[in-house]
Structure 1
Amino acid sequence: MSAPDQLLVIIDPVARRGDGESVRIARDVLCARADVRISLPDGPAEFARALDRCGSRRPVVIGDDRALLRAVDRLHRGRGLADGAPLSVVPVGPPGTVQLAGGLGVPLGAVAAARSVLEGVARRLDLLVDDSGGVVLRGLRIPAGAAGAPAVVDGVPYGAGPAGGVWDTCRSLVRTLVRPPVVAAAPRAAVRPVRTHRLRVEADGQLLSDLDAPVEDVTVVSRNGVAEVVVRPRAGADPIRREASAITVSGASFRYRADTAQVTGPVWTRTWTLRRSAWALTLPTMAAAD
Structure 2
Amino acid sequence: MVIDPVARRTDGESVRIAKDVLSAGAVTKVCLPEDAEEFDRALARRGARRPVVVGDDRALLRAVSLLHRRRELADCVLSVVPVGNVMSLAHSLGVPPGPVAAARTVLDGVVRRRDLLVDDSDGVVLGALHIPPPGDRPGAARARGGPADTPADDAPAGAGAGRDWLRTCQSLVRTLVARPPRAAGAAGRRPVRLRVEVDGVTVVDLDRPVEAVTVTPGAEGRAQIRVRPLPGPGAQAAPLPAEGRTVTVSGAHFRYRADTEISGPVRTRTWTVHRDAWALVVPQSTPG
TM range (shorter): 0.7 to 0.9
Match among 222, 225, 235 for residue 217 of structure 2: 222
1:101-180 to 2 correspondences below 5 Å: 101-143=90-132, 147=136, 176=169
Conserved? CA contact 2:196–2:202, under 8 Å = yes
Aligned-residue offset at 1:238: 1.5
- Asked if residue 10 in structure 1 is aligned to residue 2 in structure 2, the reply is yes
Aligned-residue offset at 1:150: 5.7
Instruction: Specify the SS of the correspondent of 2:267.
Output: strand
Q: CA RMSD in A?
A: 2.8
Q: 1:240 to 1:178 in 2, by over 3 A?
A: closer
Q: Deviations over 1:116-138 (max 9, x none)?
A: 00001110001000000000001
Aligned-residue offset at 1:176: 2.3
Q: Which amino acid aligns with 2:55?
A: G
Q: Which amino acid aligns with 1:49?
A: R
1:52-91 to 2 correspondences below 5 Å: 52-84=44-76, 86-91=77-82
Q: 1:21 to 1:189 in 2, by over 3 A?
A: farther
Structure 2 match to 1:250: 250
Conserved? CA contact 2:197–2:203, under 8 Å = yes
Cα distance in 1 between the residues matched to 2:61 and 2:210: 29
Q: 1:189 to 1:286 in 2, by over 3 A?
A: farther
Instruction: Specify the SS of the correspondent of 2:281.
Output: strand
Cα distance in 1 between the residues matched to 2:24 and 2:238: 55
Cα distance in 2 between the residues matched to 1:222 and 1:82: 16
Pick the structure with more strand per residue: 1
Instruction: Specify the SS of the correspondent of 2:51.
Output: strand
TM-score with structure 2 length normalisation?
0.81
Q: Which amino acid aligns with 2:118?
A: V
Cα distance in 1 between the residues matched to 2:171 and 2:14: 60
Structure 1 match to 2:263: 264
Cα distance in 2 between the residues matched to 1:38 and 1:179: 63
Cα distance in 1 between the residues matched to 2:274 and 2:247: 12
Structure 2, unmatched stretches of 5+, are 141-145, 149-164
Aligned-residue offset at 1:146: 5.5
1:189-208 to 2 correspondences below 5 Å: 191=182, 194=186, 195-208=190-203
- Asked if residue 239 in structure 1 is aligned to residue 239 in structure 2, the reply is yes
- Asked if residue 33 in structure 1 is aligned to residue 25 in structure 2, the reply is yes
Structure 1, unmatched stretches of 5+, are 1-8, 152-159, 163-171
Q: Deviations over 1:167-195 (max 9, x none)?
A: xxxxx969728988xxx98x999857623
- Asked if residue 277 in structure 1 is aligned to residue 276 in structure 2, the reply is yes
Match among 9, 15, 28 for residue 23 of structure 1: 15
Aligned-residue offset at 1:148: 6.6
Aligned-residue offset at 1:212: 1.4
Instruction: Specify the SS of the correspondent of 1:220.
Output: strand
Instruction: Specify the SS of the correspondent of 1:249.
Output: strand
Q: 1:210 to 1:221 in 2, by over 3 A?
A: same
Aligned-residue offset at 1:217: 0.9
Percent of paired sites with the same residue: 56
Cα distance in 1 between the residues matched to 2:83 and 2:274: 28
Cα distance in 1 between the residues matched to 2:269 and 2:72: 24
Aligned-residue offset at 1:81: 0.5
Q: Which amino acid aligns with 2:68?
A: H
Cα distance in 1 between the residues matched to 2:46 and 2:118: 23
Cα distance in 2 between the residues matched to 1:117 and 1:233: 42
Aligned-residue offset at 1:143: 2.5
Cα distance in 2 between the residues matched to 1:122 and 1:78: 21
Q: 1:144 to 1:61 in 2, by over 3 A?
A: closer
Q: 1:177 to 1:271 in 2, by over 3 A?
A: closer
Conserved? CA contact 1:147–1:263, under 8 Å = no
Cα distance in 2 between the residues matched to 1:205 and 1:191: 35
Q: Which amino acid aligns with 2:78?
A: L
Q: Which amino acid aligns with 2:244?
A: A
Larger RCO, structure (CA 8 Å, separation 6 or more): 2
Structure 2 match to 1:155: none
Aligned length: 256
Q: Which amino acid aligns with 1:197?
A: V
